[in-house]
Amino acid sequence: MQRNGAYPRPARLPAKPPSVKPERRHALPHAMVGSIVNLTGVVVYLWLQNGRSFWFYIADVQKDKIIGYAWMGQGWQRQDVILKLVWSYY
């Protein structure tokens, strides 16, 4: 992931994500990651290929990355996520 402060913070960013972490077995597989483009403005749970997982607010989807905000336990932090690193999402 990379940080980039140039993207404006959305007005409708939720105060916090859901309190329950989804089970990975209910997530969409890597082959379906292309459909994430339809989720702009939505909070999803991401699992990355490196084993990291977190809640993520999708602000924009570009050709090779998702732009948005990752939940860091006490607040949202601006992040870019490279699409090919996303293993699955819920």
pTM exceeding the 0.95 threshold for the entire prediction = no
Pairwise pLDDT comparison (11 vs 20), residue with the higher score: 20
Per-residue pLDDT band at 82 (split at 50, 70, 90): very high
Q: Give the pLDDT score at 2.
A: 44
Q: Give the pLDDT score at 58.
A: 93
Mean pLDDT, to the nearest integer, of 35-49? 89
Q: Which domains does the chain have, with CATH numbers?
A: 28-89 (2.30.30.100)
Q: Which residues sit opposite 60 in a β-bridge?
A: 67
Neighbours of 42 (CB within 10 A): 11
What tens digit of pLDDT does each residue of 63-75 get?
Answer: 889 999 999 999 9
| Cα–Cα distance measured from residue 21 to residue 40, given in angstroms and rounded to the nearest whole number | 20
**61-87 as b/e: b if 16+ CB within 10 A:** beeebbbbbbbeeeebebbbbeeeebb
